[in-house]
């Protein structure tokens, strides 16, 4: 019984190596036939132009922040707006 | 209508409780279920599997619950039907396929050989199991524990040795969770410091078309060579095709998340339900637990030793530590290779290199299962053939 188990083990390992070696060969053929091509670089995103109502929005936020802090709008200066 | 006295009512209720049928075997199995809960919840050993297995075991061993009774339509018996009829393990494989990136394997296809070499654990365990008195079918089902692949172990055990399903599944998942403890000493024992410090070249990128064609090619070749492997490999590759094709994103997401989670619950509880006192509390279970550990050790050693061979053949370009990842257990075994490599040389990143043999191990263990089914699965094949003939008629 152990003898036949050893025989089965050798045959089975042989089959596994055979199947996986065939797959290695096929992968190599595929990789050679279809080489990797780097995708084209995406076009640069144009800088969003300031909309007509952007100034009004900033002014409204400015006033709201000042009111929330209990200060006058003049005492707060918005120095930078992070574009979305 | 029969009129019951107070005493009779109490007596009937007391007689209908599970306590009246509780045996010593049940109590031991309830303790086993509690051990599984402890390992899953507090030790975090494969909790996604061991927790439902523990609950299945608990429910199956609470007498008179009827959860596992086939004739009375027990819930867990229905779930087990999904395992018995080859539904649940292949569906889990589909999820695994959708989760797996075969890119590292395609970039370095020779690592396929490491996945094959690690299957040596399966066959040394087969020989050991036969030596311990198991027949060939049982020994094959036990040996596949060395493939470190839960669904494959369950699939093969259901086909070849259903009476051993419980201990095989518990051994497979327990040892898979212990990979970080089992593998490192063997890896260090079989390699030199110089070998462990090898830094491998960066993997080359692979075309998306190759990634799409790969699952189709593997399915054709493997199923033509080993038809019984079709349910496992076919579903694994279907899941991967969902992922790589780019046109079935919804199916890919479902396979990787909700579907695999749902079937995991059914798989865990039904496997746990197979752990009854009569089938689990035997000497065979102890033998399987010991053989399972040996399977993992030999599989790790096989992968590392083949990695050493590749190290010498390539003039030191392959780090043998990636060989241990050939045991499957994705991605834990690859992480172990990375960890042991980084301990030897800080900044040595082996993870992606180890993912190649790791996913090759999944294919390798499925192929190993296919070989066993081709050799010893005649009875099951005959049953299926009979079923098909009945349907055709």
Query: Looking at residues B241-261, what average pLDDT do you find?
Result: 95
Count contacts between A and B (CB, < 8 Å): 102
Helices B120-131 and B136-143 pack at an angle, to 10 degrees, of: 140
Q: Do B217 and A4 touch (CB under 8 A)?
A: no
- The CA distance from B242 to B363, in Å, is 17
Three-class DSSP labels, B216-278: HHHHHHHHHHCHHHHHHHHHHHHHHHHHHHCCCHHHHHHHHHHHHHHHHHHHHHHHHHCCCHH
Please check whether residue B76 is in contact with residue B218, taking contact to mean a CB–CB distance below 8 angstroms: no
Residue B335 confidence class, pLDDT cut points 50, 70, 90 = very high
Q: How far is B157 from chain A (nearest CA, A)?
A: 18
Neighbours of B88 (CB within 10 A): 27
Tell me how far the alpha carbon of residue A51 is from its chain's centroid.
30
Q: Which of B126, B207, B217 sits opposite A34 (nearest CB)?
A: B207
Q: Which two tokens stand for residue A78?
A: 């918005």
**Rg of chain B on CA atoms, in Å:** 23
Q: Which of B110, B207, B360 sits opposite A35 (nearest CB)?
A: B207
Q: Do B217 and A30 touch (CB under 8 A)?
A: yes
Q: Tell me which chain A residues have a C-beta less than 8 angstroms from the C-beta of B139.
A: 5
ipTM above 0.85, yes or no: no
* Residue tagged 């349907």 (tokens): B391
Q: Which of A17, A19, A36 sits opposite B225 (nearest CB)?
A: A19
Closest CA relative to residue B120, chosen from B290, B307, B289: B307
Q: Using the 8-state DSSP alphabet, how is residue A46 labeled?
A: P
Closest CA relative to residue B353, chosen from B187, B108, B188, B112: B108
Q: How many residues does chain B have?
A: 393
DSSP secondary structure, B312-345, as one string: HHTTS-S-GGGGGGGG--TTHHHHHHHHHHHHHS
C-alpha torsion angle, residues B102, B104, B110, B116 (rounded to 10): -50
Please check whether residue B321 is in contact with residue B340, taking contact to mean a CB–CB distance below 8 angstroms: yes
Q: How far is A5 from chain B (nearest CA, A)?
A: 5
Q: How far is A11 from chain B (nearest CA, A)?
A: 9
Please give the pLDDT value at position B223. Answer: 94
Is A3 touching B (CB cutoff 8 A)?
A: no
- The CA distance from B115 to B104, in Å, is 13
Please check whether residue B86 is in contact with residue B155, taking contact to mean a CB–CB distance below 8 angstroms: yes
Question: Which of A19, A35, A38 has the most B C-beta neighbours within 10 Å, making it the best mutation to test the interface with B?
Answer: A19
For the cut 70, the answer to whether the pLDDT of residue A37 exceeds it is yes
SS3 for B207?
A: coil
Closest CA relative to residue B323, chosen from B102, B181, B103, B113: B113
Closest CA relative to residue B268, chosen from B83, B90, B26, B41: B83
Please give the pLDDT value at position A51. Answer: 59
pLDDT in tens, B177-217: 889 889 999 999 999 999 999 999 888 899 999 999 999 99
pLDDT in tens, A48-70: 555 556 777 878 888 888 888 87
- The CA distance from B127 to A3, in Å, is 9
Q: Do B113 and A16 touch (CB under 8 A)?
A: no
Q: How far is A34 from chain B (nearest CA, A)?
A: 7
* DSSP-H helix ranges across B274-317: 277-280, 283-313
Please check whether residue B223 is in contact with residue B369, taking contact to mean a CB–CB distance below 8 angstroms: no
Please give the pLDDT value at position B310. Answer: 96
Phi, psi of B121 (to 5 degrees): -60, -35
Q: Give the lowest-confidence range in A74-78, B89-93, B115-119, B353-357.
A: A74-78
How high is the mean pLDDT of chain B?
90
Is A49 touching B (CB cutoff 8 A)?
A: no
Please give the pLDDT value at position B87. Answer: 92
Q: Is the dihedral of CA B314, B317, B320, B322 positive or negative?
A: negative
Query: Looking at residues B48-66, what average pLDDT do you find?
Result: 90
Q: Tell me which chain B residues have a C-beta less than 8 angstroms from the C-beta of A30.
A: 210, 213-214, 217
Q: Do A34 and B210 touch (CB under 8 A)?
A: yes
Helices B165-177 and B283-313 pack at an angle, to 10 degrees, of: 40
For the cut 90, the answer to whether the pLDDT of residue A77 exceeds it is no
Q: Do A37 and B139 touch (CB under 8 A)?
A: no
Is A22 touching B (CB cutoff 8 A)?
A: yes
Is A19 touching B (CB cutoff 8 A)?
A: yes
Q: Which two tokens stand for residue B109?
A: 């296809």
Q: Do A34 and B113 touch (CB under 8 A)?
A: no
How far does chain A reach from its first CA to its final CA, in angstroms? 73
Q: How far is A32 from chain B (nearest CA, A)?
A: 10
SS3 content of chain A, % helix, strand, coil (to 5): 60, 0, 40
Q: Tell me which chain A residues have a C-beta less than 8 angstroms from the C-beta of B110.
A: 24
Query: Looking at residues B157-174, what average pLDDT do you find?
Result: 90
How high is the mean pLDDT of chain A?
82
Please check whether residue B288 is in contact with residue B303, taking contact to mean a CB–CB distance below 8 angstroms: no
* Residue tagged 């053929």 (tokens): A29
Please check whether residue B284 is in contact with residue B71, taking contact to mean a CB–CB distance below 8 angstroms: no
For the cut 50, the answer to whether the pLDDT of residue B385 exceeds it is no
Chain A residue closest in CA terms to B357: A20
Question: Which of B126, B205, B367 has the most A C-beta neighbours within 10 Å, making it the best mutation to test the interface with A?
Answer: B367
Q: How far is B83 from chain A (nearest CA, A)?
A: 25
Domain boundaries, chain B: 77-392
- The CA distance from B218 to B363, in Å, is 9
Q: Do B112 and A37 touch (CB under 8 A)?
A: no
For the cut 60, the answer to whether the pLDDT of residue B14 exceeds it is yes
Q: How many residues does chain A have?
A: 84
Q: Tell me which chain A residues have a C-beta less than 8 angstroms from the C-beta of B142.
A: none
Q: Do B364 and A20 touch (CB under 8 A)?
A: yes
Residues of B with CB under 8 A from a CB of A: 105-106, 109-110, 112-113, 115-116, 119-120, 122-124, 126-127, 130-131, 136, 139, 204-207, 209-210, 213-214, 217-218, 221-222, 225-226, 360, 363-364, 367-368, 371-372, 375
- The CA distance from B362 to B159, in Å, is 19
């Amino acid at each position: 019984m152990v003898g036949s188990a050893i025989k089965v083990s050798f045959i089975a390992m042989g089959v596994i190596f055979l199947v996986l070696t065939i797959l290695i060969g096929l992968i190599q053929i595929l990789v050679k036939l279809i080489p990797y091509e780097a995708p084209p670089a995406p076009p640069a995103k144009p800088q969003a132009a300031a909309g007509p109502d952007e100034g009004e929005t900033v002014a409204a936020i400015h006033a709201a922040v000042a009111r929330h802090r209990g200060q006058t709008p003049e005492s707060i200066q918005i120095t930078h707006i992070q574009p979305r | 209508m029969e009129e019951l006295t107070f005493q009779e009512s109490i007596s009937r209720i007391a007689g209908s409780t599970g306590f009246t049928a509780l045996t010593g075997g049940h109590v031991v199995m309830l303790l086993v279920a509690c051990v599984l809960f402890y390992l899953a919840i507090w030790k975090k050993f494969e909790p996604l599997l061991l927790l439902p297995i523990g609950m299945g075991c608990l429910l199956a061993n609470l007498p008179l619950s009827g959860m596992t009774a086939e004739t009375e339509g027990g819930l867990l018996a229905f779930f087990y039907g999904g395992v018995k009829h080859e539904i649940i393990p292949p569906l889990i494989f589909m999820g695994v396929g959708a989760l797996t990136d075969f890119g590292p394997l395609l970039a370095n296809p020779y690592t396929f050989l490491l996945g094959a070499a690690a299957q040596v654990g399966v066959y040394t365990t087969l020989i050991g199991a036969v030596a311990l008195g198991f027949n060939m079918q049982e020994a094959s089902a036990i040996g596949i524990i060395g493939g470190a692949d839960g669904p494959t172990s369950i699939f093969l055990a259901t086909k070849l040795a259903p009476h051993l399903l419980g201990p095989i599944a518990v051994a497979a998942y327990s040892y898979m969770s212990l990979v970080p403890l089992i593998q490192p000493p063997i890896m260090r024992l079989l390699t030199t410091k110089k070998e462990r410090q090898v830094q491998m070249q960066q993997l080359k990128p692979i075309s998306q078309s190759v990634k799409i064609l790969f699952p189709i090619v593997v399915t054709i070749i493997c199923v033509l060579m080993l038809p019984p492997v079709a349910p496992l490999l076919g579903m694994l590759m279907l899941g991967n095709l969902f992922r790589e094709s780019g046109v079935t994103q919804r199916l890919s997401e479902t396979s990787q998340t909700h579907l695999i989670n749902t079937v995991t619950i059914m798989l865990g509880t039904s496997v746990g339900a197979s752990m009854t006192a009569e089938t689990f509390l035997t000497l065979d279970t102890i033998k399987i637990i010991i053989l399972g550990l040996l399977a993992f050790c030999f599989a790790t050693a096989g992968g590392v030793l083949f990695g050493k061979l590749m190290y010498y053949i390539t003039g030191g370009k392959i780090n043998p530590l990636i060989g241990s990842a050939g045991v499957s257990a994705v991605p834990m075994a690859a992480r172990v290779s990375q960890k042991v490599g980084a301990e030897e040389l800080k900044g040595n990143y082996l993870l992606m290199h180890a993912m190649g043999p790791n996913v090759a191990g999944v294919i390798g263990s499925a192929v190993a299962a296919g070989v066993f089914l081709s050799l010893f699965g005649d009875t099951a094949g005959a049953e299926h053939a009979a079923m098909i003939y009945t349907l055709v008629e």
